[in-house]
Amino acid sequence: MGSAIAALIANSSCQVVLLDIASNNPNDRNSVVKKAIENIPKQRPPSLSHPSKLAFIKIGNLKDDLQLITECDLIIEVIIEQIDIKYKLYNKIIPYLQNDAILASNTSTLPLKQLKENIPDSIKSRFVITHFFNPPRYMELLELITDQAVVPMVVDKITNFLTINLGKTIVKSNDTPGFIANRIGCYLLELVVRTAIKANLNPVIIDKIFTDLLKFPNTGIFGLYDLIGHDVMKLISTSLVNSLPMNDQYKKIYILTPILDKMIAKNLIGRKGVGGFYRISAINKVKTKEVINFQDFSYTAIEDPKVEYNSINELLDSGSIYGQFFKSILVEFYLYLTSLIPEVTDNIYDIDKAMRLGYSWKQGPFELLYNIKDGFEWLKKEATIKNLPLPKYVANNNYKTIDSSKFQVSRINLRESEVLLKNNSAQVLLYQDRLVFSISTKMNCLNEEVFTLLLEAVDLAEQREQDLYIVPLTDNFSAGADLKLVAHYIKTNDFTKLDRLLELGQQAMMRLKYSHINIISCAVGFALGGGCEILLHSDFIVAHQELNAGLVEVSRGLVPAFGGIKEMFYRAQGNKDRLIKNIINILTANKTSSADYFILDYGISSAQINMNKQMIFLEASQLTFPKKVVKVDKKITLPQISLSEELDISQYNELQILLLAQLQDIIALQEIDEQEILERERKIFLELAQNPKKDLAF
C-alpha cells in the first residue's frame, strides 16, 4: 500500500519520498523500492492519475537515505502489522525528523496507545494514525486517530493536508482495535460468510439479496471477501481478535470454519488466487462467472437468481431459509454495531459515513435500519425473543433521537441559496452572491429544458454583470444528452424534434462561449458527450482529479453534435499534430480517466485541478477571473492532411470510417467558420439517426 499512497500524494503534485528496505544487492541497494516504482503503473485500478506524476516521487532505502526524511513534513509508516518491527523502524527514523514534522502510522489494527509506548515524549505530541482505505486513490475515507498528547495545531495541519491536498474525508475514531470501518465491516463479512458456510447456503443468493435489497455494492459480501483476499481477511481478523477484549462478540462469531481453511490451503483465496467463492472462467470462449461448491470445491456457472422479495421487511417476514438467515445475521450484526457506541465513536452519523466511504455502502448501517419499517423496534423485539442482552443504545431508546437529515449531507450544500429561475430540469441559484446554474435531471442529462434555462441563465448573468458557475449538486457533472429522449425521437421518426434538440444544444454552447461574462464549470464524476461539450465551451474549469470526461458519442453509435466536433477543429488552432490528436479523441470516443488526462488529451488551457470533490465549488468561488475578452475571429484554419494516411484505419469500424470521410470533407475546405461546422455536425448526426450503424439501446 506504501507505493499506492505515494502515488496518491504524487497525483496531488506534492513531492513525496518513498523509502523501502535496502536490498542485499551491493550494486543496487534501491532495487526493492525500484521494483515498487516499476509496479506502480501496473497497479489496477491505476494508482497514478497520469504517468508524468511519477516525477514527484523520489526513492531511497532505509539504510543509506534516511537523510531524505529531514526534507519531509509528514512521514507515513506503512509496514507490516508487527509491533516490534514498527518500533525498530521508529527508532531509525525519529533522529531524522524535523522539529515540527508529523509522524503517522497507517496501521489498520494496532492501537495508537501501543504504537506510542516506546516513543520519546517530544514525538508523542505529533504522532497520529492515518488509516487509508484500499485503493487509496479511490477510497474517500480516512480514519484519523489522535489522543490527548497530540497538540491541536498538529491535528489541524494534518487534517488540512489530508482533506485539501489528498481529497480525503476524515472520520475521527477513538483509539480502539480496527477503528470504525474495519471493526464493523470485517465483523459483518466474517459473520455472514462463516454462518452461511455452516448452514450450506448459496453465496449467490445471499449476495444478490445484499445488493438488491440492502443496496450493498455489486460485490456483495462473498465477492468482497474474494476481493480483499481470504489470506488478508485472516490476517485482519486474527489481529483484531487478538487485540479485542475477552468478551467481544467478534471472537464469538469468528468460528472455526474448516472449509475456509481448506480453501486457503488450495490457494482459493479470491481474485489473486486460482479462485475464491467465485471465479471467472472462459467456457466456450465466453467469460463466465462461476460459484464454488463447498462440498468438493468444484465450480458451476451462475445463473442470475431472482430475488422474490420486494422489500427487506418482506424477506424477514417470509419464514424462508434465507429469510431466517437474514433475520439472524441482521440481529447479531445490529446488536454488535449498537454495542460499539460510544466505544468506537459516539457519533452514529460518522459510523454511517465511514461505511459509505470506506466500504462503498449506499447507505450506512444506521440509515439502513432507520429506513426499514420499525427497524429498531424490530431489533428490540427479536433480541428479546432470543433472550439476547440489549446494548445501552437500544435499551435507552437513543435511536429515537436520530435526525435522518444528517445521514446524507449533500456534497455541495447550496441549501441556503435563493432560487432565481427554475424549470423541471434545471435551476439558477444565487448562493452567497454567486450565480449558479445546476441541472436536476437523472445523471444531469441534457434535454431541451436544460438548454432553455441555460440560455436564460446566461442572459441573467449578463444583465447582472456576474460570472456564471455551472455546478452539479450530485456526484456527476453530466452524462450528456438524454439518450432515452434521443432514442425516443429516433424510434418515433421525430427528426424535427431531434434537430430542434441539437440546434438548441448548439445555441446554448455558443452562448456560453461568446457571452461577455465568464462561465466557470465545476467538473466532477462523469462529464461525457454533451457534458464534455459544456466543459469545452466554458471559460474555466475547476476539475476534480478523478474526473471521467470525453466525447464518447462514437461508442454509442452517435457523433458529437452539441459543438464537440467543432471544438476539436477549433482547438487545433491550425496545428496538424493537435488536429490529428483531437480527431482521434472523437473517433476512439476517448473517455479520460483523470483531470490530468483530460487537460492533456483535450487541449484544455484554462483549468485547475482539485483533489477534493467536495471543495470544487468552494475553490472555484474563491478564484478571481479577469474580465472576459470575447473572441471575434471565428474562422478556423485547417491544416491540409490526409486522415487515411495519418491514421491506422484498419482498426476502425463502419461508423468510424464513415465519420473519417466526413471529417476529411471538412478539412478539404481549408478554412471554415464555427457555424458551418455546427451545421455539418447536425447533418452527420441526423443522417446517422435515420440510418443507424449501431442499436442505440439504453
Ligand X SMILES: CCC[C@H](O)CC(=O)SCCNC(=O)CCNC(=O)[C@H](O)C(C)(C)COP(=O)([O-])OP(=O)([O-])OC[C@H]1O[C@@H](n2cnc3c(N)ncnc32)[C@H](O)[C@@H]1OP(=O)([O-])[O-]
Which residues in this chain contact ligand X in the complex, by CB under 6 A?
442-443, 445, 479-484, 486, 501-502, 526, 528-530, 533, 552-553, 556, 558, 560-562, 564, 698
C-beta closer to ligand X: residue 672 or 688: 688
Closest distance of CB 548 from ligand X, Å: 7
Closest distance of CB 426 from ligand X, Å: 15
**What does the alpha-carbon distance between residue 333 and residue 129 come to, in Å, rounded to a whole number?**
27
Question: Which strand (E) or helix (H) includes residue 350?
Answer: helix 348-359
Residues of 297-329 as b/e, b for ≥16 C-beta within 10 angstroms? eebeebeeeeeebeebeebbeeeeebbebbbeb
Closest distance of CB 438 from ligand X, Å: 17
C-beta closer to ligand X: residue 60 or 564: 564
Strand residues in 71-126 grouped as ranges (E): 74-77, 102-105
Closest distance of CB 689 from ligand X, Å: 9
Strands 607-610 and 468-470 come out as: unpaired
DSSP string covering 498-552, please? HHHHHHHHHHHHHHHHHSSS-EEEEE-SEEETHHHHHHHTSSEEEEETT-EEE--
* Alpha helices (H) along 107-180: 112-115, 121-124, 152-160
Burial of 13 (0-12, 13-18, 19+ CB in 10 A): middle
C-beta closer to ligand X: residue 423 or 575: 423
C-beta closer to ligand X: residue 348 or 558: 558
C-beta closer to ligand X: residue 268 or 501: 501
C-beta closer to ligand X: residue 178 or 564: 564
C-beta closer to ligand X: residue 97 or 528: 528
Closest distance of CB 494 from ligand X, Å: 13
C-beta closer to ligand X: residue 453 or 568: 568
Q: How many CB atoms lie within 10 A of CB 335?
A: 20
Q: Which amino acid is at 557?
A: G
Residue 128, strand partner residues: 104
Closest distance of CB 235 from ligand X, Å: 32
The secondary structure of 414-463, three-state, reads CCCCEEEEECCCEEEEEECCEEEEEECCHHHCECHHHHHHHHHHHHHHHH
Closest distance of CB 45 from ligand X, Å: 15
Give me the residue label for grid cell 450450506.
200
Which residue's Cβ has the minimum distance to ligand X?
529
Closest distance of CB 91 from ligand X, Å: 48
Closest distance of CB 481 from ligand X, Å: 3
Give me the residue label for grid cell 441526423.
686
C-beta closer to ligand X: residue 105 or 538: 538
**What does the alpha-carbon distance between residue 248 and residue 344 come to, in Å, rounded to a whole number?**
13
